[in-house]
Structures are given as structure tokens and as C-alpha cells.
Amino acid sequence: MALKIVKGSIDRMFDKNLQDLVRGIRNHKEDEAKYISTCIDEIKQELKQDNIAVKANAVCKLTYLQMLGYDVSWAAFNIVEVMSSSKFTYKRIGYLAASQCFHESTDVIMLTTNQIRKDLSSPNQYDTGVALTGLSCFVTPDLARDLANDIMTLMSHTKPYIRKKAVLIMYKVFLKYPESLRPAFPRLKEKLEDPDPGVQSAAVNVICELARRNPKNYLSLAPLFFKLMTSSTNNWVLIKIIKLFGALTPLEPRLGKKLIEPLTNLIHSTSAMSLLYECVNTVIAVLISLSSGMPNHSASIQLCVQKLRILIEDSDQNLKYLGLLAMSKILKTHPKSVQSHKDLILQCLDDKDESIRLRALDLLYGMVSKKNLMEIVKKLMLHVDKAEGTTYRDELLTKIIDICSQSNYQYITNFEWYISILVELTRLEGTRHGHLIASQMLDVAIRVKAIRVFAVAQMATLLDNAHLLTGNVQRKGICEVLYAAAWICGEFSEHLDNPTQTLEAMLRPKVATLPGHIQAVYVQNAAKLFATILKSQEGNTDSTAAQETSQLMIDRLPLFVQSANLEVQERASCILQLVKYIQKLQQKDVEIAEEVIALFAGELNPVAPKAQKKVPVPEGLDLDAWINEPPSESESEDEQPRAIFAKEEPKHSRPRHTEVDEKELAKRREARKQEQANNPFYIKSSPSSQKVYQEAPGVEHIPVVQIDLSVPLKVPGLPMSDQYVKLEEERRQKDKAEKKKKEKKKRKEKRSGRGKRHDSGPESEEDITPAHMVDIVTEEMPENALPSDDDDKDPNDPHKALDIDLDNLMEMAGRRPLADSEKLPVRSHRAAEVLKSPAQDGDAESAVSQETKKKSSKEKREKKKDKDRDRKKSKEDKKKKKKKHKSEEKGEDLLGGQEDGPVGQSEETSEVAAQPTSTTAEVSDLDFWLSNAPVPSNTQEAATVAAAEAAPVSELASGTAPDSEPDEPKDTETEETKSSKHKKKKQKKEKEEKEKKKKKKHHHHHHHSDGGGEESVQNGTVEEEEPLPPMSNYCLLAENSYIKMMMEDADQVNDIQGNLQDGSQVVVSVIFENKCDSFLKSMEFNVLDSLNSKLQRPEGSGPHDGLTVPFQLPPGVSNEARFVFTMQSIIMPQKLKGTLTFIVKNEDSSTHEKLDFKLHFTCTSYLITTPCYSDAFAKLLESGDLKCSSVKLEGVVMPFHHLLARICFRHHFSVVERIDSCASMYSRSIQDHHVCLLVKTSGQTVSIDAKCDEPTLLGNVLDEIKQTFSQC
Amino acid sequence: MIKAILIFNNHGKPRLSKFYEHYNEDIEQQIIRETFHLVSKRDENVCNFLEGGMLIGGSDYKLIYRHYATLYFVFCVDSSESELGILDLIQVFVETLDKCFENVCELDLIFHVDKVHNILAEMVMGGMVLETNMNEIITQVDAQNKMEKSEVRLTLPVHYFYLSVYQAGQVDTGRYCRSACSCRISCKEHEPPGNAQKHQHW
């Protein structure tokens, strides 16, 4: 044994290490493969040894060989061995090798689960780190499932080095095991605010990747990201966040509005080009998502375009490239702003860098107009001539065609010009896009009737000079054009000047060198031409000409009859026989032209490419059903009938059978053709469809005579497109002159008749008349075509599985908690068992298959559950609706008998209501965040803002999808919409008001006291499904026979941003409702300031002056105004006395009235719901700065989560953590007091321990909480 | 996401390949060849972005590369990465290599591809950027190397021998390195200092 060890180590001295291997390979340049194969043999020997160091060395070498392209999967097991070494050195080598060559189908991966788990929990942070890095490369669904929990734990590791790796790898885990997303998400979100910037950056990275694929699920994180964006200084993080916002804005236009300002600031302030560029990009995305026409946004566009221009003008090619890239995004929505930089973009076309030229080309697409199309294309044609590389030239060619054909040839005024451009393009050498040009020619010739004469003439010349196109082997691609030329000449042969010549050109022996499908078209169209010629010649007395033509056909066609291409052969022999027969008839002087023409009669109409798809399936037709009984297995013994039904050709079938098949197939083809011919919906294979032509087999073998061309190709007799540019200009000039003349005439007439008329302005787009009347035939669609085709997403996208709603996962209690099945699997013994017997492959495999089975069944269950959940949800919704009806009825009852005494809301209703309330809170948080504009300096503005935004908010909260709803720009809002909105709101409010009034009678005043009851009532009355829009949190302030005032819970509308800057402002929204039939005007709102709280008045007014309410109220109308109060101290509740004075105006009289009210500011209203994370919370509690206090509530008979939800909603707390019947909650006052609660429940007793740095405030808040619960 | 990181020299010889998505070995080689073909035919003073890799990526993906003396550093990324950011990341990568290898040259990458992998692992993990701070990267790499060294010292005396062979190898490479001075890839030689500053986008 000892000897063996010594022997092993001596051997090892002579082992090659990686460096030796590399050196060896470099020294064996000639026989590298041989050398490496001997090395691999050595490695195999080394791997057989017991010494782990030797193994590691071997694995290290294998990793290098893998990079060189050698398959090393055979050593997978050895890699696992090295991975499980206790030494970091070897472990690292093992994990590196694994990360390079393991993948999902590597079977030994199953064996690694426990090893990895061990490494993850290793006390050495680098063991963990190496394991995480390796795992990130080869994680499989099984590994992800088994290790998700361990990685989750690592996310809270003490070392930031591990934390950031664990956070990052979670993305890979989510991808492989989507079920882990929901349980892991809260912690991931928490990491967004990790103290370590690296961890924070990793979390941002992961969420950005997640959100990029399913942005709508992450909308609710927008406020958090916004905060990060305004606070972070790490450019990497900023870039990621800004990119993320770019993905979110299309879903939520209001977000865009909020973003514009900080982004613009960043654009102005940052010196980092990368950040600047991403900001510009996101601003563009925002602008795209917003409806255009907002005046302040044109400035943003201008800013973007300006900055981009700077980038494009930069000497750094990278910036230039990116500038153009971003510019093309603006182009889609704001073409006008880009068009002004046409000069710059045209300049970029001349850039030496191909990437930049390509980008510039992209931009050009959007810059053309009727006016400048010819000019731009002319310039591009110059580039085509100059371009050296074929790829760029091909790109140019496609761009020219794209530009010209865009939106149904919208910008082409002269189709003769276009045809000649196409003809010119055929002279390009070695282009791949012959078929593109061909299809354009066909398209134009078919759809623009007026151009046919010209097109036919051009095509005839092309055919005549076909040898120039086909001569060079390199030019094979371009001969596709002949396909189009031949077809056009044949189909529209009546327009030909000299059909005989063209016919002769089409039947030249040279044609036989063309690809088969083109020959076939030649033959077929020769027949068409023949028919036309016959017709024209039959009128003549001399029949020799006609007979000569027939003779020509008979002479030339046999060449095609011998063609190797079946299609050509078939057509040629058919037509040959036909012509022979015709010749016979001609000799008998029979007039047959009409009959021959009839062969090709009928107009061809273009059919929309989607037409076939849009044909609706007739009722009762099941396309999947068998027409005949499926053939049974026994029917065929030696032949496999399936091969016919399968798509692939039965290549292996013996020739004996193929003959039979051929006949069979021919028969079927015949039948099918017959059927197709009778079916009006079948698109006959018209050449206009852009099909990909198949190269005929054997074309390569046809000898091709090469013509050496030293002079540039120029097809003689073809007009140059350039001349059209001149002609066009002349024509326009003439047109203009004529128009002027006419106008002058008109003016003269008019002057004599009516007098003055306006001058004609400068020539605009519409003034350019097309050269000839272009009749663009629209494409045919089947009748009752199905509307709008749905784009199908790739069903294999792994991100589809990650489309998981995460909103109701936030830390608020009462949301849908994680179901047991959703919790991450905790370590089990299953994997350990597998590891115990690694040698027994069979066992391991069966374990694998079992596991996969288990997994799939589990997945199924999951799905089922999801469905069930959905069903339940919809049921609940229905229930809610029913309830709504009920309470609406109740509301009516109340209307009828207002004095009927208390109508208690049933317990049931309130309970149901409490939960959805909290679910909406998150949504409404976002809404508040989005809808709140920065606190306007004067209240007038505030009022209008509030009014304008109230509507979208309530609509949104009430269940309409946020992305489907266009957000009305508040600035441009017209008076009408405003008033109608108010009416709507008023109706709703009225209802609520009635309920509330009722309540008032029982719970006297104090707007907090009617907590739960009020909620449920509102729940019932709101028209839409989602309960309780946050705006409805109003309570009655005062009312008399004329007017009613309702105050909103002050803090709720408070702008959080404003508070952060100035912690002493509270905004109060008051709704004024006119209850009488008279007009109310000159309303003045005044409050008696106390020492502590003051109403903010416009500058220059005295401390006792009232504030004018910035609107008047017609009868029955309500409106909302906001008032800003400044608070000195917020630790005590405040009461302010106030008066509203107003003038009631009737037709005959006007009276001065006044209404007194009391404004009540509770301490709760100074609290802002602020999310807090458990670690921060713990730190806060540990800090010892907080004073303690507690309160006990007795007889609370509601579920714990309802209780929490109520505290959250009524008192603006958020749940930090909840464990069973115990929860910690947090809130912050506007002056940055921290308030922490620990809520415990046992039986009907709820004890609340509270901590706050301000004991008075705490006492008051607790009192208020107590009051809330004493009411229910 | 970063889909792949490739380093090859002016002749297309791979010096490091890291794919964050699984491909067959043959396809990996094809990708390297294709990428080399695309990148090598570009002039020095054109932009560093490239579209149109057929095998890797697709329309959403871009090649972002930098050319240092004899080596090309190519990152294949999708649209969630910032183009200029990745360019800077390449710069950070090369500077880190320069620090770790003390004036890095192509031969360092040839003979110590495993070390390069280890450095890269501290920057990019599973296709996502892990760390961009050079000092932090170097700290972690050094700490791990130190651990490795302490482990080697602890093992049997035979390992000393092994170690000395290993070190001899390094001396050897050093000689290569000196003889092939033109191979130096530090950015300072590639560009004048002013120019290098310009590429620093933040």
C-alpha cells in the first residue's frame, strides 16, 4: 500500500500539468489532433488513480480541451469526484469543469445535489461562492427545486459576498423552477434595499430581468425603484432601473409622466455617456407610451433629439451608432422631429463604418415623403454603385425596395420611375435578392393597371437582353427577375409592341440554361404570347405570318420537351401538341385565335397574403376529424402507410413502390387540382406571392458559358431612372405653373364675382399629383374574414412560466398567503438516498425517472390548483356583485325611510369587505404614488389637479386594467369632460353620502369612529367590482340646506414627496356639493389658525383672510378643493374651527350665507404608510431610542388578518412580519417619527405593544386605534 | 443577460470561451469561428457593436467587442444590457487581468486560462453582471488564491516538488512573455492615454 502511494507520487512528478499540455499543443502544430488524443489517453489513465490531486490536474486539462472543442462529457463522473474534494483548490477546478461542460441532460448532475447543498452551507465563504458560481451555469429544474430553499437562506447570509451571489442565482432558479418565485419574492424585494451596494445591484439586476419579460407583475414596485433611482449613485444600478422603467411605462402612462422630470434632470446633470444614453432611451419610451399632443412633451422630444444629435456628431463611432439607434425609436412616433436632422443622417450614409451606415439606412425609411423619395433613392442608388461588400449592397437594395413599397406605395408618384429603378437594380452583381425585385415587378405590374404598358415594354427589353443577366455564374440570383419579366410579358401581352420579337427571345436555346421554374414560366408565357400574336395576325389576309409563328413554336419547343425539369417538360409537351394541332387548323384556314385566347382569358386579381388564414371555418366542419376511417395496422404488411401521412418523404422505400406511389400521387394531385380549381377560396399559385423558389436539381450541371464583361453593365435601350427625377421636377414645375394659372383664372373670376380669396400657400405634400392616375388594386380578402390575426407567442419561452402575479404577495397580512404547496421544498432524504449508491446506475436512473414523474404530477396539481383558485376568485366576484346589489337595494330603502332607525350592516358584509380592502391597498398605493403631483404652490392648482386626477384613480382602482385605459392629459382636458367627471363622481359620492349620513346618526361624528362599518357600506355601493377606491374616504364636515362639505382623511392625499422635503404640511381635500337649486358662488374658506396649525394662504394676505375656493357651483354639482395646512407639532390631535362663506344666487335675488365646521386632524393622519423590512425594523428596535407603551383591546371578534388589515388601512401601518397570531407593524409620521407596533392576539384579547420616539404621539395613536376597535 | 464571453486572438484561436447557455462543443467552435469572422474583418476605428451573428443570439442579441493588440474580447449580450456599460465592463475585465497577472499578455491567457476563468467568475455569474468594482474583484480573487496556496503548503512534501515544477513553468512563461513583447495587451499600449480616458464612459 505504502509502495503504491510512493509509486503514485513518483508517477505524478512526470504528469503533465495544464501548462505542459498547452506547451505541448503549441509544439505539435502539425499533428495537433494526434497529440491531443495521446494526451486524452494519459488523462484517462490519471483519472483512474485514487489520488485526488492527480484527478484534479486531469480535470483541469480536460477543461482546456473542452474549450478547444473536444467532448469531455465522458469524464463527468470524475468531475463530480473532484467537485466533492474537501480542498478548495480542487473543488474550484471541479466546479469550473462542471460549469463548462454540464448541462441539463448530464445524468450525473443528479448526484451532485447533496454535495452542492453541503458546499452551500460550508463555513468557508469561498466554498459557498464557488458552488453558487458553478450552479449558476448548470442548474437544472431538479437542482433548482431541491436547492431553492438553501439558496433562499443564503440570501440573508451575513457576508455580502455570498448574499449577492445568492440573489443573482435566484434568477436562474426561477427560470428552472417557476414555483419558487412567489415564496422567494418578498425576500428578493427586501434585498433591493440591502445596505451593501453589490447586493442591491444584484437584486435590481434580477428583478429587471424578471420584469423585462412580464412587466405588468412588477408595476407595483415602481415607487420603490423610483426611490432607488433618485437616491442611487451607482451607474450600473441606475442604468438597470432606467431600462426597467422603459419596460414598465408602456403599461402605465402615469408612470411616464412621473418619470419625465427626474430623467430630464439626469440627462442634464450626468457626465456618464452610458447613463445619458439610457435616460434618453427611456424618455423616448415614455414619450411613445404617452398620447402625443401634450405641449410640455414636445420639449422633452426636442431635448432627446438634441442630445442624440450630439451623440451622432461625436467622433466616437460607438456613440454615433447608439445615437442613430435611439433616433430610429423616436422615428416611429415622432417622425417630424427626426426629419429635421435629415442632413446628418444622410451624412452618416457615407460613413466608413458599415454598422453605422446600416443604422442610418433604417432611419431613412421614415424620412421619405412624396417630395423627397426620388431624391433619396437616387442617393441610395449612388451608394449601391459604390458599395464594395455584397452584404451592404444587398441591404441597400432591400432598403430601397422597402422605402418605395412602404404602406402600399404611398410615396411613389411616378411608377414609371419605380419600374426603371427596379430594372436598374437588376444590374447589380451577385445579389441574393433577385426574387425580391421580381416580386416587386410583379406586384406593381399587377396592381397598378396604368403602368402595364410601360412595364411590359421594359420587361420585353429585359427578356431581349437576358444574356446579360444570365451570363455570369455570379449573377445567378438575379435571373429570378426573368421570371417576373416573362410572366408580365405573357400576361399583359396585348400591350407588347413587337410580340413576335419577344416570343423569339423567350424561345432562345439559351433559355434552357435557366433554372427550371423560370423555364416553366417561359414556356407557359410563350404560349400566352402565341395566342396574342395569333389574334393580331388573323385579321390579316396573309396567313403566312401566323403560320410562321406556329412554326417557330414547333421548332423551338422540343428543346424544352427534353428538359430535365418535370414541370418544364410537362408544359412544353402539352403546348407543343397544342400548337401542332393549331398549325393543322391554320392550314385549313380555320379561325382559331378566339379559342386559343380563351385558354388564357380572365383577369388575375391580387389576393391578400393573409386571405387563406382568414377564411372562417364553416359551421359544423371539423378539420381535425378523419374523413375516412383511419387505416388499421393490419391493412398493410410490408408497406408502412404512415409514411404517406407523415410529412417526411419515405426516402427508404424501394423503387418498386415508388412507381405505384407516383401514379397514386399523380391521381391525387389531379383530384386535388380539380378541387382547388373549384374552390373559390384557394389561392392559386400566382407568382405574385412571395414564395421562395426552389432551385431545380441539376441546374449546376448545365454548362454555362461565361461572358467576360470588362465594361460596367448597362442594358441598352433602357431608360435611366435619373431622367425621371428631372422629368418629375419639370412636371411638378409645370403642374404648379398650371395650377397657378388656373388659380389666377379662378381668382379673376372670383374677384369679379365674390372678391378676395386666400393665397395659395407653399406647395404641400398633397399638392404633388401622381404622374398618371394610379389605380392601386386593393388585395382581395374572403368574405366575412375573421378580424385581426392574433400573434402567437412562442410557447416554449421559459419566461412564460414566470408570469406570476406577485402583487398580493407583499407583506400586508390578509393577502393570499402562500399555500402549502407553494412553499419551497425543504431538504429531504430522497436525494441523499440517491447519493448513497452512486455506483448503482440503474438505481440512480430509476430514482431520476421517479422524481421527474413526481415532479410532473406535482406540476399538474399546481395547475389544477391555479385553475381552482381562478374559479374561486370569479365566484367571489360574483358574490360581491350580488352583495352590491343587495346593499344598493338597501340604499334605496334608506332613501325611502330616512328616519326609520338604524339599519345595521350585517356582520357578514363587513367581514367580506375587510379583506378586499387590504388587497387593493397596494394597488391604490401605487395609484396614489402615481397620481400625486408634487404639492402645488397654490391651492387653485391643487384643486384642478385633484379634480383631474380623481377620475382616473377611481376608475383604476375599480378594476379596469391600467394599461388599457388611456390617461387623459390633465392640461388639455376640456371643460366638458371635467364637468361630466364631476357629475359621475357626484353620483357616487351622493350614494356614499347617504349611507354616511345614516351612520352619522348612530356613531356621532368623529370620522375615524365609523371605520369598519363605513368601509363595508361603501363597498356595497361602489358600482365597479373592486371594492373601496381610496378616494372615497371622505367624511362629512358640515352641511346645511345649501351646501355640504366633506373632508377626506387628510394624510391619504398627502403627497409623500412633499412631505419628505417639508415634514410639516398636511393637505386636506374638501368636496363641496351644492344641494340647492341655486347657483353658489364667491365661496371663501377660512380657518381660525391655532398656534400649532395654520392654513397656508397665498403670500400677501393676512392671517385672518379667507381663501377663495377656485370654483363656483351650479345646482347639483360638486367639486373638490385642496387646502394645505402647516403644522408645528404633530404629536397631538388638532381641532380647527372654520367657516365657509358663500353667495347663493337665484334668478331674482342673492343672499350671503355661511357654514361653520370643525376640522379634525387625528394623529393617525400624520402617519404615512411606509414599507419597512425586517432587518431594518430589528435594527430600529435595537437602537433603544424608542419609548415603549402598550394597550389592550378586549372583545375583538375578528380574524387576526382582518384586524391587521384594519390597522393598516385605518391607521396607515404596514406589516413588517407576521408569525401566527403575532405581527410587527411599522409606520412613519410626516416628521419622521418611527412608530412600531407588536400586535398579539389570544382569544378575544388583542394586546398591542408599541414603540415610538415620541411618547405623546404614540399615546394618541394608540388611543385612536383603541377607538377604532371599540366601534366594532 | 450576457449569453457568451469569448476571447480569441488575431488568428481566431480561442483563448477563453464561456457560454452561459448550453451548446454542443461543435456548435461552440462554430460560434467562435463565426464571431471571429465577423469581428476580424472590421477596421480598428469603427464602432464596437455588431449585429448579425447567426448562430448565437438573434435579433435581440448584439456582439460587443474590444480589440487589444493581439486579442479580441467579445461579449454577446441581449437588449437588457447597456451597450456602453458592457464596453466599460470589458475594460474593467482587462484592467483586472492586468493587475492580477502584472502586465498581462496573451501568453498569460494561454497558459492560465483557469485563472482567467476564476477572475471572470467574480465579475459575471450565470450571464449576469456580479461585480463591476475592480478593487472588490481583485480582493476576492486574491483571497481565494491565498487560500489555495495555504492548502498546497499543507499537503505532502511531494507537493513542493510539484509546486516547484509549477513555478518553473511560470518562469518559463515569463521568458516567453519577454520575448514576445508585442503581445502585451494592456490598454495603455493600444491607445494613447487621452483616448483611453475617452472610453471611460463614467
Of the ranges A506-510, A713-717, A1051-1055, A1089-1093, which is most confident? A506-510
Band the pLDDT of B123: cuts 50, 70, 90: very high
Whole-number percent of chain A with pLDDT over 70: 64
Residue A208: closest C-alpha in chain B:
B80
DSSP symbol at A1113: B
For residues A136 and A169, is the Cβ–Cβ distance under 8 A?
yes
- Give the residue with greater pLDDT, A718 vs A180: A180
**CA nearest to B185, candidates B90, B114, B118, B117:** B90
Residue B48 lies in a domain: yes
Distance from CA of B84 to the nearest CA of A (A): 5
Q: Is the pLDDT of residue A440 over 70?
A: yes
Pairing of strands A1093-1095, A1118-1127: antiparallel
pLDDT of residue A607: 75
| Cα of A89 to nearest chain B Cα, Å | 5
* Option in B28, B126, B170 nearest A168 (CB): B126
Mutate to test the interface with B, among A22, A61, A67, A208 (most CBs of B within 10 A): A67
Asked if residues A82 and A55 have their Cβ atoms less than 8 Å apart, the reply is yes
- When pLDDT is cut at 50, 70 and 90, the band that residue A735 belongs to is low
Residue B58 is assigned to a structural domain of this protein? yes
Interface touch B45/A212, C-beta < 8 Å: no
Give the Cα separation of A885 and A894 in Å (integer): 14
In a domain, B156, yes or no: no
ipTM above 0.90, yes or no: no
Q: Mutate which of B8, B25, B33, B44 to test chain A, going by most A C-beta atoms within 10 A? A: B25
Higher pLDDT, A654 or A172: A172
A599 backbone dihedrals φ, ψ, rounded to 5°: -60, -30
A840 touches chain B (CB under 8 A): no
Q: How far apart are CA A466 and CA A505, in angstroms?
A: 8
pLDDT value, residue A281: 86
Percent of the residues in chain A that have a pLDDT greater than 90, as a whole number: 9
**Confidence band for A599, pLDDT divided at 50, 70 and 90:** confident
For residue B52 the three cell numbers come to 448579425
- Considering the domain boundaries, does residue B87 fall inside one? yes
Tally of domains in chain B: 1
Residue in B closest to A199 by C-alpha: B130
**Which amino acid appears at position A1218 of this protein?**
R
- Work out the pLDDT band at A136, boundaries 50, 70, 90: very high
Find the domain containing B58 and state its range: 2-148
Looking at residue A1194, its amino acid is: E
Whether B198 shows a pLDDT value over 50: the answer reads no
d(CA A1251, CA A527): 98
- Tell me the sheet residues that pair with B2: B77
Q: Which one of A288-292, A1246-1250, B11-15 scores highest in mean pLDDT?
A: B11-15
Residue by residue, DSSP assigns A79-117 as HHHHHT-SSHHHHHHHHHHHHHH--TT-TTHHHHHHHHH
Chain A contact for B88 (CB, 8 A cutoff): yes
To 5 degrees, how large is the angle CA B124–CA B129–CA B131? 80
Map grid coordinates 500500500 to a residue: A1
The 10 Å Cβ neighbour count of residue A752 is 8
pLDDT of residue A713: 39
C-alpha distances (whole Å) from A23 to each of A18, A19, A32 are: 9, 6, 11
Q: With a cut of 80, say whether residue A866 has pLDDT above it.
A: no
- Please list every residue in chain B whose beta carbon sits closer than 8 Å to the beta carbon of residue A355: 46-47, 49-51
> Which of A270-284, A692-706, A959-973, B185-199 has the highest average model confidence (pLDDT)?
A270-284
Q: Does residue A148 have a pLDDT over 80?
A: yes
Nearest one of A297, A100, A190 to A809, comparing CA atoms: A190
Q: How many angstroms separate the CA atoms of B188 and B167, rounded?
A: 28
pLDDT tens, residue by residue, A787-812: 444 444 455 666 667 777 665 554 44
Asked if the model's pLDDT at residue B92 lies above 90, the reply is: yes
Name the band, by pLDDT with cuts 50, 70 and 90, for residue A476: low
**Model confidence at B201, in pLDDT bands (50, 70, 90)?**
very low
> Can you give the pLDDT at residue A266?
85
Model pTM above 0.80: no
B161-167 long-range contacts, CB within 8 A, separation 24+: B161/A13, B162/A12, B162/A13, B162/A53, B165/A13, B165/A17, B166/A17, B166/A19
Phi/psi for A387 (5° steps) reads -55, 135
Q: Is the pLDDT of residue A1056 over 60?
A: no
Residue B77 in domain: yes
Query: Residues A247, A252, A253, CA angle at the centre, nearest 5°?
Result: 105
pLDDT tens sequence across B29-74:
999 998 998 888 888 888 888 876 666 666 778 899 999 989 999 9
Average pLDDT of span A907-921: 41
- 3-state DSSP of A1049-1087: CHHHHCCHHHHHHCCCEEEEEEEEEECCCCEEEEEEEEE
| B105: in domain | yes
pLDDT in tens, A1062-1112: 557 777 777 777 877 777 878 888 888 877 777 777 777 777 777 777 777
Orientation of helix A434-447 relative to helix A390-409, angle to 10°: 20
List the grid coordinates of A405.
413599397
Residue A868 confidence (pLDDT) above 70 = no
Sort out which chain B residues have CB atoms less than 8 A from A164's CB and list them.
130-131
How far is it, in rounded angstroms, from Cα A613 to Cα A1048? 56
A694 or A34, greater pLDDT = A34
- DSSP one-letter string for A108-147: THHHHHHHHHHHHT-SSHHHHHHHHHHHHHH--HHHHHHH
Residue A975, pLDDT > 60, answer no
Residue-by-residue DSSP string for A304-324 = HHHHHHHHHHSS-HHHHHHHH
- Contact (CB<8Å) A198/B201: no
Q: What's the rounded Cα separation, in Å, for the pair A1179 and A1176?
A: 5
- Minimal CA separation from A680 to chain B, in Å: 39
**A601 pLDDT exceeds 70?**
yes
Residue B101 and residue A395: Cα distance in Å, rounded?
Answer: 44
pLDDT band, very low/low/confident/very high, at A686 (cuts 50, 70, 90): very low
Query: Residues with Cβ < 8 Å from A450, sequence gap 6 or more?
Result: A415, A772, A773, A774, A775
Q: Is residue B174 part of a domain?
A: no
> What is the predicted pLDDT for the residue at A543?
72
Q: What is the pLDDT of residue A1184?
A: 73
CA distance A498 to A506: 13
Mean pLDDT of A975-1004: 46
Whether B183 is covered by a domain: the verdict is no
What letter represents residue A1128's amino acid?
Q
> What digits encode the pLDDT tens for the residues A307-324?
888 888 888 888 888 888
Residues A202, A194 contacting (CB under 8 angstroms): no
Nearest to A886 by CA among A901, A906, A911: A906
pLDDT at A1173: 75
The x, y and z cell numbers of residue B61, run together, are 442579441
- Confidence label for A693 from pLDDT (cuts 50, 70 and 90): very low
The pLDDT of residue A302? 82
DSSP letters, A322-389, are HHHHHHHHHHHH-HHHHHTTHHHHHHHHT-S-HHHHHHHHHHHHTT--TTTHHHHHHHHHHHHHH--S
Q: How far is B169 from chain A (nearest CA, A)?
A: 7
Would you tell me how many other CB atoms lie within 10 Å of the CB of residue A540?
10
Percentage helix, strand, coil for chain A under 3-state DSSP, each rounded to 5: 60, 10, 30
Round to whole Å and give the CA distance between B12 and B40.
8
Mean pLDDT over A980-1008 rounds to 46
Mean pLDDT, range A872-898, rounded to an integer? 45
Confidence (pLDDT) at A996: 46
Lowest-confidence segment of A26-30, A1183-1187, B55-59 by average pLDDT:
B55-59
Q: Among candidates A933, A1115, A942, A916, which has minimal Cα distance to A1024?
A: A916
What are A1140's three cell numbers? Answer: 365657509
Q: Chain B contact for A208, CB < 8 A?
A: yes
Mean pLDDT of B133-153: 89
* pLDDT score of A386 more than 90: no
Tell me what the mean pLDDT of segment A1170-1178 comes to. Answer: 76
Query: A586 pLDDT exceeds 70?
Result: yes
For the segment B96-124, the average pLDDT, to the nearest whole number, is 91
| Of the listed ranges A450-459, A833-842, B2-11, the one predicted with least confidence | A833-842
Query: What does the pLDDT look like over A556-569, one tens digit per residue?
Result: 888 888 888 898 99
Q: What distance in Å separates the CA atoms of residue B130 and residue A170, rounded to the nearest whole number?
A: 13
Region A762-781 average pLDDT: 52
Q: Which residue has the higher pLDDT, A297 or B64?
A: B64
In this predicted structure, what is the pLDDT of residue A1101? 72
User: Phi first, then psi: what are they for A273, rounded to 5°?
Assistant: -60, -40
CATH number at residue B77: 3.30.450.60
8 Å CB contact of A89 and B48: no
- Looking at the complex, does the CB of residue B180 fall below 8 Å from at least one CB of chain A? no
B138 touches chain A (CB under 8 A): no
Average of pLDDT values for A737-748? 59
Q: Is B25 on the interface with A (CB under 8 A)?
A: yes
Contact flag A137-B126 (C-beta cutoff 8 Å): yes
Give the span between the Cα atoms of A329 and A297, in whole angstroms.
16
Q: How far apart are the C-alpha atoms of A347 and A704, rounded to whole Å?
A: 42
- Asked if the model's pLDDT at residue A699 lies above 90, the reply is no
List the 39-58 stretch of A: residues with Cβ below 8 A of B.
53
Torsion over CA: A367, A369, A371, A372 (sign): positive
Q: What residues in A contact B110, CB-CB < 8 Å?
A: 22, 26
pLDDT in tens, A932-950: 544 333 434 444 444 444 4
B171 touches A: beta carbon within 8 Å: no
Question: Is residue A691 over pLDDT 60?
Answer: no
User: For B6-53, what is the HEC assignment?
Assistant: EEEECCCCEEEEEECCCCCHHHHHHHHHHHHHHHHCCCCCCCCEECCC
State CA A1124 to chain mean position distance.
Answer: 41
Phi, psi values for residue A185, rounded to 5°: -60, -45
| Mean pLDDT value across residues A973-990 | 45
Which DSSP state fits A30? Answer: T
Three-state secondary-structure class, residue A1124: strand
Structure confidence by residue, pLDDT tens digits, A186-199: 899 888 888 888 99
Mean pLDDT over the full length of chain A: 71
Q: Which has more confidence, A476 or B23?
A: B23
